């Protein structure tokens, strides 16, 4: 089964951007880990990252059309993008929302709301990059049952 791992704005800067919050793993390293974790679960994983909201919406629309499960870290768009909300609403296969940090534990009030959560079968947060492994396990379980 093919799974898309989609990462939103600034996640391409992993390893450089606020390592005290997001850790030292780079996005390239995360992508490699996701492919390996997916392989272990019998999943074919493709990892993508964009800083452009329309590109993310296009990817989500294509996932809806193709029936692909999605692991989504919408980053800042999580908190306000109704375009991402609408695109997530169209998904027919499982969507798992993932966050490296725990948005609810962060001091900024705006981070406490997610437009993705209403469409997700599960939210994985605060586990660092290992949260992506957990999210892929959720996809594997959800798709098998």
Annotated catalytic residues are 22, 99
Task: Give start and end residues of each alpha helix (H) in 53-96.
Answer: 53-66, 82-89
Binding site listing for substrate? 73, 79, 86, 100-101, 111
Closest CA to 50 of 88, 11, 96: 11
Binding region: 73, 79, 86, 100-101, 111
- As a whole number of angstroms, the distance between CA 117 and CA 139 comes to 15
Phi, psi dihedrals of residue 45, rounded to the nearest 5°: -105, 130
Strands (E), 2-43: 2-7
């Amino acid at each position: 089964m093919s799974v898309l791992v989609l990462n939103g704005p600034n996640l391409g800067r992993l390893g450089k951007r606020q390592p005290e919050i997001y850790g030292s793993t780079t996005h390239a390293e995360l992508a490699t880990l996701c492919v390996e974790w997916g392989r272990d679960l019998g999943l074919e994983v493709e990892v993508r990252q964009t800083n452009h909201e329309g590109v993310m919406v296009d990817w989500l629309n294509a996932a809806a059309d193709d029936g692909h499960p999605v692991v989504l870290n919408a980053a800042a768009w999580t908190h306000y993008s109704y375009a991402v909300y609408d695109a997530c609403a169209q998904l027919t296969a499982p969507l798992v929302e993932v966050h490296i940090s725990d948005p609810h534990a962060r001091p900024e009030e705006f981070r406490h709301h997610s437009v993705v959560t209403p469409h997700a079968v599960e939210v994985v947060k605060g586990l660092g990059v290992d949260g992506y492994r957990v999210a892929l396990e959720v996809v594997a379980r959800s798709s098998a049952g």
